[in-house]
């Protein structure tokens, strides 16, 4: 294929000619591969010429030294598909991505190192980045426009000005990229205020500077222009993230942005002759354990499984009202779009159920320790089940968990005595203790923080970090199981129940004679996760605001399908059903 050229001068120059970048964000890791083409074709039909995506480290190196670049995480295939459709590509392969993604894309296994300081120019962190980059850029380098691919430019770091000002770190990342073969223009993206731009950019090293915002386009572009002029740069203006919607958290109302507001502010940006990247063009889904977490005043607020984002395309690929608004802004004639194949299936049959306490050794990695183990043990994601024996005097005693995250369900002698979450975490519990009381605690990692300085907080080390006091003394002698939901394929569903209490695993089966996308209605469930044919669909919670889990057709198969509900409360899971009604996603 003929090589093209892309330069950043007073304007963007594509093959020597002025070029405006009209881009949309599509995260290949948030939508199924079968949906990539339709999404990219709709992106082009909307009048955009470029697609942008983050690249999350934690999906490509899930275990240290084990790299994954195929199937749902085949970034090379995604980029080549975009090129075949006639789109250019912007890649953001920085170690940290934010993106409302678990730990901002950083792998949980980094936290096993006691000297780890993420996003810093420290030997341990940079060693791990270098190992990852060596594998990653073998995939990305051939995709650059300088090598006949569609990639115009790549990001050094993301919103670093909202985290730190270590220019030695930024330069080290830049050097690693170039050492591994990156030769397209590099850029940084930060908030549009002067302090963020100053701290997070490498403008003094001629690294292109962009800003992120979603409103007040003229004012934000003026700030960006001022910053450039202060450094004697006459570069084109670009909003790398024009926020057309927003993300959502559990127990809060769905956040939306009106299509009219979107049209007004984007039209102003275009009028100012700026380039842009819509964040998001299509949102997608935080499958598995990969939802991120916000934080306010040291309280964590995990984000929901749906990453619909109220974007131009909805979670399932349907166009929102903003799609036509976008075409209007870009003077694109409306066209007939391919419809989404969305439907329902017959109600699954409940065939087996077991209690977690009866299958711990089958679904968990076991460890004994003096003090309770944190999530450094196990995968670093999901759930940890703790167990210990406490000697009491047949009277009321006070127990207290010290430094625990994120949610704890506490059982004493097979009875649920407390569920602690957010501001109630670590509150003292009074309970009657026998001379041989059994204390069991299910701790959930609900998602690590994805933005700001709290990335360095001890709270990102999930589980029980300090321990548990009985009366006033620390209690020692613990057993724990790091729950591994990938082991459910080998579970003995005939395991007999010793006592009927605590979380359950319920197995349903159903037949499929035609594969299509659907939603699982979770409105009758409590709190937990669902696996379909071994694929983790993500978290559900009756607290809302969503009450359904999106299922792309890729996760289904003709014939018999298996669905497993891990219900962490004591709710009796008797039935589940599918729906194609979008409104089920949001509580009325």
Residues 6+ apart with CB under 8 A from 481: 360, 361, 363, 364, 365, 366, 367, 384, 385
CB atoms within 10 A of CB 202: 20
**pLDDT value of residue 69:** 98
Instruction: State the first-to-last Cα distance of the chain, in angstroms, to the nearest integer.
Output: 52
Q: Which two tokens stand for residue 368?
A: 């004994």
**pLDDT value of residue 367:** 98
Residues 6+ apart with CB under 8 A from 296: none
Instruction: Give me the residues paired with residue 301 across strands.
Output: 294
Q: What is the pLDDT averaged over residues 471-486?
A: 97
Burial tier of 164 (Cβ tally within 10 Å: 0-12, 13-18, 19+): middle
Q: What is the pLDDT averaged over residues 91-119?
A: 98
CB atoms within 10 A of CB 199: 18
Mean pLDDT of the chain: 96
> Is pLDDT of 587 > 60?
no
- Residue (of 317, 297, 295, 294) closest to 247 by Cα position: 294
Mean pLDDT is lowest, of 42-46, 135-139, 544-548, for: 544-548
Residues 6+ apart with CB under 8 A from 70: none
> Is pLDDT of 497 > 90?
no
pLDDT digits (tens, 9 = 90+) for 78-87: 999 999 999 9
**pLDDT value of residue 3:** 82
Q: What is the pLDDT averaged over residues 188-212?
A: 98
pLDDT grade, residue 509 (50/70/90)? very high
Q: Which secondary-structure segment (H or E) carries 197?
A: helix 194-200
Q: What one-character-per-residue DSSP string does 112-164 give?
A: GSTT--TTSS-HHHHHHHHHHHHHHHHHHGGGBGGGTSSEEEEEEEESGGGT-
**pLDDT value of residue 582:** 59
**pLDDT value of residue 579:** 93
**pLDDT value of residue 202:** 98
pLDDT digits (tens, 9 = 90+) for 566-586: 999 999 999 999 998 755 444
Tokens 């439907």, located at residue: 343
Secondary structure of 349-412 in HEC code, one letter for each residue: EEEEEEEHHHCHHHHEEEEEECCCCECCCCCCCCEEEEEEEECCCCEEEEEEEEEEECEEEEEE
CA distance 62 to 382: 14
CA distance 576 to 68: 33
| Residues with catalytic roles | 159, 241
Q: What is the pLDDT averaged over residues 226-233?
A: 98
pLDDT digits (tens, 9 = 90+) for 522-543: 999 999 999 999 999 999 999 9
Mean pLDDT is lowest, of 179-188, 279-288, 302-311, 578-587, for: 578-587
**Cα 344 → chain centroid:** 27
Burial tier of 393 (Cβ tally within 10 Å: 0-12, 13-18, 19+): exposed
Backbone angles phi and psi of 329, in degrees to 5? -60, -40
3-state DSSP assignment of residue 32: coil
> Is pLDDT of 588 > 80?
no
CA distance 78 to 27: 10
């Amino acid at each position: 294929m003929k090589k093209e050229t892309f330069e950043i001068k007073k304007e963007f120059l594509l093959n020597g000619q002025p070029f405006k970048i009209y881009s949309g964000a599509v995260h290949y890791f948030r939508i199924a591969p079968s949906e990539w083409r339709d999404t990219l074709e709709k992106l082009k039909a909307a009048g955009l010429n470029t697609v942008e995506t983050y690249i999350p480290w934690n999906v490509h190196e899930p275990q240290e030294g084990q790299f994954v670049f195929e199937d749902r995480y085949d970034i090379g295939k995604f980029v080549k598909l975009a090129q075949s459709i006639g789109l250019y590509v912007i890649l953001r392969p920085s170690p940290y991505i934010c993106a409302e993604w678990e730990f901002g894309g950083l792998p949980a296994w980094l936290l096993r190192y006691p000297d780890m300081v993420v996003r810093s120019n420290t030997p341990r962190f940079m060693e791990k980045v270098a190992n990852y980059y060596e594998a990653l850029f073998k995939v990305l380098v051939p995709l650059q426009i300088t090598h006949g691919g569609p990639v115009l430019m790549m990001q050094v770091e993301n919103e670093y000005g909202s985290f730190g000002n270590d220019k030695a770190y930024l330069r080290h990342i830049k050097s690693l990229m170039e050492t591994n073969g990156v030769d397209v223009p590099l850029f940084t993206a930060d908030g549009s205020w002067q302090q963020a731009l100053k701290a997070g950019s490498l403008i003094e090293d001629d690294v292109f500077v962009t800003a992120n915002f979603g409103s007040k386009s003229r004012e934000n572009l003026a700030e960006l222009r001022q910053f450039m002029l202060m450094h004697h740069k006459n570069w084109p203006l670009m909003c790398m993230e024009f926020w057309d919607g927003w993300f959502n958290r559990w127990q809060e109302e769905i956040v939306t942005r009106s299509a009219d507001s979107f049209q007004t502010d984007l039209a102003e940006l275009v009028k100012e002759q700026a380039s842009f990247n819509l964040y998001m063009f299509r949102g997608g889904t935080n499958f598995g354990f990969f939802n991120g977490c916000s934080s306010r005043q040291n309280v964590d607020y995990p984000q929901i499984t749906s990453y619909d984002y109220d974007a131009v395309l909805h979670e399932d690929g349907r166009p929102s009202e903003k799609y036509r608004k976008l075409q209007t802004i870009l003077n694109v004639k409306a066209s007939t779009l391919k419809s989404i194949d969305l439907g329902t299936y017959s109600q699954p049959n409940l065939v087996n159920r077991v209690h977690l306490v009866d299958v711990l050794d089958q679904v968990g990695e076991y460890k004994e320790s003096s003090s309770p183990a944190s999530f450094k043990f196990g995968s670093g994601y999901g759930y940890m089940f703790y167990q210990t024996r406490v000697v009491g005097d047949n009277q009321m005693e006070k127990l207290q968990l010290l430094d625990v995250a994120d949610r704890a369900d506490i059982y004493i002698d097979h009875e649920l005595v407390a569920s602690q979450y957010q501001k109630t975490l670590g509150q003292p519990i009074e309970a009657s203790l026998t001379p041989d009381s059994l204390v069991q605690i299910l701790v959930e990692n609900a998602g690590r923080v994805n933005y700001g300085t709290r990335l360095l907080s001890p709270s990102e080390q999930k589980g029980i970090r300090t321990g548990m006091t009985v009366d006033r003394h620390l209690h020692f002698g613990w057993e724990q199981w790091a729950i591994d939901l990938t082991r459910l394929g080998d579970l003995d569903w005939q395991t007999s129940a010793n006592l009927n209490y605590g979380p359950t695993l319920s197995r349903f089966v159903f037949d499929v004679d035609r594969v299509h996308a659907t939603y699982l209605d979770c409105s009758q469930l409590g709190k937990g996760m669902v696996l379909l044919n071994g694929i983790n669909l993500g978290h559900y919670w009756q607290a809302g605001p969503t009450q359904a889990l999106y299922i792309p057709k890729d996760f289904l198969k003709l014939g018999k399908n298996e669905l497993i509900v891990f219900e962490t409360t004591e709710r009796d899971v008797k039935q589940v059903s599918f729906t194609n009604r979008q409104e089920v996603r949001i509580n009325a």
